[in-house]
Structures are given as structure tokens and as C-alpha cells.
Amino acid sequence: MVLQVPAVELDKLTWPEIEQELRGGRDTVVVAFGATEQHGQHMPLATDALIGDHFARRLADRLDAFVAPTVRIGCSSHHLAFPGTLSISDRTFHAIVADLVSSLARAGFGRIVLVPTHGGNFAPLAAAVEKAPAEHRDRVVAITDLSVFLTIARLGEEEFEVPIPEGGLHAGEWETSMLLSIHPELVRMDRAEAGYVGDPQEGIQRMFEGGVDSISKSGTIGDPRRASTEHGRRYWAAALDLAVEMVEGESG
């Protein structure tokens, strides 16, 4: 049996404590990139950031790593029609990634794991890593493949008979279930309603071209009404297993 060591919260330690951990061999850090954006009428704007908090901590647990504070604003221009959404440009996002990676590399972290928990951050993160200097890029393991989301959607269809369009791309069944399982007090299921439930690929194209409001007036892409805590726990387990596999595969 492998003993799992809890993650170490980077910002809760003093610098000598961090230095001691690094010298002891704990040199992996996990950073999540979330968002502050609308999530339909039933979930808070902090959804992606809250999922980032949980995902990064759980992944860091599995990797015997530090967990850094979640970056809570991302590339969300396609949600700006909905009040409260905050967004930064790709250029700004690239600069944030570059500066954070540079800071962590200078501190002596040997493996910097970057995890986007907002769909709009995947492509900008891949571009940011590509632009990084070789000496920094060699330390970075970034999850930039949207198949993580698709894997969860397929799981919902296979195990819970939730069609992929209902699972959705944003604030649908699987994302609602995941937040329900960690922050049930923030999910208003009495306000949950179906949004866009058409072809997912077409939805992605239309969403990024014309904004989420062009395909869903509620901001939901999917149908969250079948969401449950039980489903959420299963999705979390699958997402974390896949993330560990991706990180260890790239590191190897």
C-alpha cells in the first residue's frame, strides 16, 4: 500500500519552510488556471476557480507536491455578454503564465504542473508553454488536451445514461455534478434548466465565434437537471486518474 502524502499549500508556508521541502526532494508544484465567468442561472461565477482549487489540491496529493493558489481569472471573452464575467486577453494570459513559471523555476521547482479548469484556457495555455524559454519549458507539464472534458462526458453517457449533449460543454450535467459534490451550498438546482443541447462540435465553433449568448440565453450549454453528488464523485475520480496519467506520462 502506497502512503499518500497530503499536498503542501505553497502560500501557507514561510520561505525557509519551502526551501527545506525543496531540499528534501519535494520539487513539484501544481497550479490551476480557472475563471470568473457566468455558469448559467444555477451556479456561481467562481465555479471554474472552485473546481481548480479542488482539482489542484487533489492532484498535488497524488503527486506529493505543493499546491499553488489558483489563478482565478482566465480567457472568458465568449462569456462577456453575461454580467459579472471577468476576462483577460490571450496576450495577458501568456504573460501571467510566463511570469509564474519563471518565478517557480527560479525558486528551484523541478516540475511545474499547469492545469486549466476552464475550457477557454486550454489553447492559450498551450501557446504560453510553447513560447516559454527552453530552460523553463523543460520543467513544465501542462494539461492542454480538451479530451479530459470529453472523457468525463463519455463517462456520463456510459455509466449514467446522460447523453453527451446533456452532459454539455459548460454548466451542464457533469460540471454541475462536480460542483455539487464539493460545494453543494453554492448550486441552485431549483434554477437549473437546459440550455444548448445540440451537436457539441457545432456548439464549440458557434460559442467561440459568436459568444455563448448566441447559442444559449441562459448561459448553459447542456442540461444540468440530472446532476447529482454521486455522479460528481465518479467524475472527479476519473478526471484525477486521467490527470495523474497525463502528468506522469509526460514526466517520464
Question: What confidence score (pLDDT) does residue 4 get?
Answer: 59
The pTM (predicted TM-score) of the whole model is 0.95
Question: What confidence score (pLDDT) does residue 1 get?
Answer: 38
Q: Is residue 17 part of a domain?
A: no
Which range marks the domain in which residue 86 is found?
A: 24-245
Pick 7 or 22 by higher pLDDT. Answer: 22
Q: Is residue 124 part of a domain?
A: yes
Q: Which residue has the cell 524559454?
A: 133
* Number of domains present in the structure of the chain: 1
CATH number at residue 141: 3.40.50.10310
Q: Is residue 3 part of a domain?
A: no
C-alpha cell at 211: 459568444
Give the whole-angstrom CA distance, residue 247 versus residue 112.
10
Q: Is residue 98 part of a domain?
A: yes
**Mind listing the pLDDT tens digit for each residue in 177-225?**
999 999 999 999 999 999 999 998 898 889 989 999 999 999 999 999 9
Q: Is residue 114 part of a domain?
A: yes
Cβ neighbours of residue 75 closer than 8 Å, sequence gap 6 or more = 35, 87, 88, 89, 90, 93, 118, 120, 121, 124
Q: Is residue 233 part of a domain?
A: yes
**Mind listing the pLDDT tens digit for each residue in 114-165?**
999 999 999 999 999 999 999 999 999 999 988 778 889 999 999 999 999 9
